[in-house]
Copies of this chain bind each other. A is one copy, B any other.
Amino acid sequence: MTAGQANNWIILELPGLATNVGVARVAVAAFAAQLEFTLNDLEDIKLAVSEAVSNAVLHAYPPGEPGTVRIRAALVDGELELTVEDRGRGIDDVDRARQTGFSTLPDRMGMGFVFMEAFMDLVEVASRPGEGTTVRMRKRVGSEPRAEVPDQVQWDFAGAGPGPAHPRPDDSD
C-alpha cells in the first residue's frame, strides 16, 4: 500500500460557494497527511488551498451563479502537487494580479497570491480571460514558509481606505 501512495491523488469538485472552501481545506489536508508533512506544513497547505479556492469562489463566477471548482491534489516524487481550477472569467493580467495588494474587489486585501507564494514552494498561474484560471502549487516535505510577505502591504493596511486598486511601481513580487 505504501508503494501505491507514491502515485496517489484525489480530485475534488464542488460549486464555487464560500461554504465549500472549508471542505476543500479539510479534504486536501487529510490527503496530504499521508506524506511526512509537519503540522505546520499542513497548516501552510490549508492556507494555500483556502486562498486559491476562495479566489475561484469570489472572483471567477458572477455573484449568485457559482460554477464548478476543481481541486486536484497528488503526491509526486515526495511532494504535494496541488491544482485549483475554475472555468470562470479568467484574469486579464496575471502578473498584475499576483502583485501584493492588488485586488479588483474593494473590500479585499489582494493578499491571496502573496500568501500562496509565501506558504508553498511553487505557484504557477495560468489564465485565459473568458475561459478560466488554473493555479498550480507545490509543497515539499520540510520546506519552510518564506520569511515575511512584502513590507508594502502593511503600509496599505494602515491606510484608511481600501487597498489600492492598482499596484504601485515599487510593488514587486
Contacts of A14 in B (CB 8 A): 8-11
A23 engages B27 (CB within 8 Å): yes
Indicate if A12 sits at the interface (CB-CB under 8 A): yes
CA distance A7 to B4 in the complex (A): 35
Q: Does the CB pair A10–B30 fall under 8 Å?
A: no
- Chain B proximity of A15: nearest CB distance (Å): 6
A18: nearest chain-B partner, CB-CB: B1
Copy tally for this chain in the complex stands at 2
Q: Are A10 and B20 in contact, with the CB atoms below 8 A?
A: yes
User: Looking at chain A, what size class is its interface with the partner chain?
Assistant: 20 to 34
A22 at the interface (CB under 8 A from B): yes
Let me know if A13 is at the binding interface, CB within 8 A.
yes
Shortest distance between the CB of A18 and any CB in chain B (Å): 6
| Highest count of chain B CB atoms <10 Å: which of A10, A15, A66 | A10
B interface footprint on A115-153 (CB within 8 Å = 1, 0 otherwise): 000000000000000000000000000000000000000
Between A and B, 23 residue pairs with Cβ closer than 8 Å are A1-B19, A4-B15, A4-B17, A4-B64, A5-B19, A7-B15, A8-B17, A9-B14, A9-B15, A10-B12, A10-B13, A10-B14, A10-B20, A10-B23, A11-B12, A11-B13, A11-B14, A12-B12, A19-B34, A22-B30, A26-B26, A26-B30, A27-B27
Please list the 8 inter-chain residue pairs (A to B) with the smallest Cβ-Cβ separation, ordered nearest first: A27-B27, A26-B30, A11-B13, A10-B14, A23-B30, A23-B31, A4-B17, A12-B12
Binding site for B on A (CB under 8 A): 1, 4-5, 7-15, 17-20, 22-23, 26-27, 30-31, 34, 64, 66
